Amino acid sequence: MTVASASKTPLLDLIKTPNDLRRLEEGQLRQLADELRRETIDAVSVTGGHLGAGLGVVELTVALHYVFDTPADRLVWDVGHQAYPHKILTGRRDRIRTLRQGGGLSGFTKRAESEYDPFGAAHSSTSISAALGMAVARDLNGKQNNVIAVIGDGAMSAGMAYEAMNNAGAMNSRLIVILNDNDMSIAPPVGALSAYLARRVSGPTYSGLRRFLRGFAKRLPSRMLEKRAMAVEEYARGLVTGGTLFDELGFFYVGPIDGHNIDHLLPVLRNVRDAKNGPVLVHVVTQKGKGYPPAEKSADKYHGVVKFDVATGAQVKSKPKAPAYTKVFAESLIKEARKDEKIVAVTAAMPAGTGLDLFQKEFPNRTFDVGIAEQHGVTFCAGLATEGFKPFATIYSTFLQRAYDQVVHDVAIQRLPVRFAMDRAGLVGADGPTHAGSFDIAYLGCLPGFVLMAAADEAELVHMVATAAAIDDRPSALRYPRGEGLGAPMPEEGMPLEIGKGRVIREGTKIALFSYGARLGECLKAADELAAHGLSTTVADARFAKPLDVDLLLRLARQHEVLLTIEEGAIGGFGAFVMQALAEHGLIDRGLKIRSMVLPDIFIDQDSPNGMYAKAGLDAKGIVAKAFEALGQNMRGEVVKLA
């Protein structure tokens, strides 16, 4: 008889939902946390993804689901990239190895995925606002459930978090905020004493005494004496706990406590759960990558990883065939900055993701990381521009959305020469729709005075960085995708392009493909296939969406039967600019068959970039199909009646 090998995760195997977790004895939770950490490491080694943040909150995740009655109690994770352990405990363990894959689990929290994800997130600093909304809705409905927001210290660098806390403190709604402090070292040393103090301060005895003292203070004969008495209590506690700032915002501060010590976490969480008045902030100190030595030793604590070997931590990285756009941008900006001391670079908490870590090594005094504060970052750049500097606001397309009013009010209206370098343009793969740069062509193209550029390949990006550096009388933006370039021959240095002028890559007579951005490679493939069907095809690279190369556009329209525009953006962008120009020149009236190929009117879930573009119909196959559709034929040359 063959005996099955013992499971490495016997307790975790019993957990299908948090209800099962709550049946365990407290003494079993340490073992469960260890098993949960092992399962998280093993799963991410297969899928890749965010690892360090999740490992840092394993014990906190176990404690939260053990103490609170989720999903009736709402648990909101800020960003959501640390929620893999949460997903494992909430009925998704059987799918955890589909993380970030096509048809699989999202790498972030997602309402459509589980009732245990009450709020979807992938951008930071939204949790307290959302949780406050849930808490107020609870009060209006006359319910008693708890609402908990878990937010990291990095996310607390965004103004939105403080706006929410200020509002929550003023409203005095019952809300619990867990500050997961894993990086900034804002806490004093954490140990038995601080755990004891946190337990005492959060308990009913101290809370009752605090209410008594505040009531007593309000009965003092003068407002000044009342304020002084209340200040004594707050600042005395602040000296011990470090929570004076949060008290000033109206939160009752508890902590700091060791976020990896379940015996410290449970009594404090129970106390704040049972407190019946006002918002509470629990300061928990954790370590990114906790429990996995390769992550603990890594500089970024394995924040984001590809597939890796669990035993060694070695990540499986394929050898690139061409340089990554991000690196090309950084190296090009460095070359421009060597020639011009007025060039400075600004990022919002993404120095490595945007390549500005390379720029910072050479120009530490000309690199500015403003934290997760895109609004401030854009206006900061505007201020720099007023004094003659040449700021490159290097922000992902999807994150620049968070600063749109500043782009309009502080940059565009004043016609300040801020240069927006937008990484992650178009569809981005595993991070899914929250990180796709789908809308910047439309949301910047409608602003008067902007110059909009999109790199068709890595060589063009070099020239566009030089072009942006040279534009000093108005705002400009250049967009480029995530991932590798096309293998284009690289220039020694960038040369400024003529503003508003495109280029013809291949001449034809029947069909014109007018590309804006990095779909140019797919357009060339499509042209080859169309030529094989006897359809002579021109391929043109617009380079600029604004100002548009109208002369080139009119030539394409007059000399071809079919004109397709292709872009990695939503409706209202490059194709709309082309349609407007054609309409103004009367060319739509003359039988021209024109189609605009844009991202479809849906949010496309995570998949490989190629898979996502295939779904969007923006690959070579989709372009060929659209050309035949415009001709009213199928690919066999048979006439098809248009709907």
Mind telling me the catalytic residues? 288, 374, 402
Cβ atoms within 10 Å, residue 233: 15
Q: Which two tokens stand for residue 239?
A: 């000296």
Task: Report the DSSP beta bridge partners of residue 539.
Answer: 506, 513
Q: How far apart are CA 191 and CA 486, in angstroms?
A: 53
Alpha helices in 340-403 (DSSP H): 351-354, 356-362, 374-386, 397-400
Torsion of CA 390, 394, 398, 404, to 10 degrees: -30
Q: Could you tell me if 502 and 463 are in contact, meaning their C-beta atoms sit under 8 angstroms apart? A: no
Q: Which among 369, 368, 365 is positioned nearest to 349, based on CA atoms? A: 369
Alpha helices in 72-203 (DSSP H): 84-87, 127-140, 159-171, 192-202
- Residue reference for tokens 């959060």: 202
Q: How far apart are CA 220 and CA 117, in angstroms?
A: 47
For residue 43, the surrounding DSSP H or E stretch is: helix 29-47
Contacting residues for 539 by C-beta, under 8 A, at least 6 apart: 504, 505, 506, 508, 513, 515, 520, 523, 524, 527
Torsion of CA 265, 271, 275, 279, to 10 degrees: -20
Q: How far apart are CA 196 and CA 181, in angstroms?
A: 19
- Residue reference for tokens 């004493």: 193
Q: How far apart are CA 19 and CA 416, in angstroms?
A: 57
Burial of 206: CB neighbours in 10 Å, binned 0-12, 13-18, 19+: middle
- Residue reference for tokens 């001449």: 507
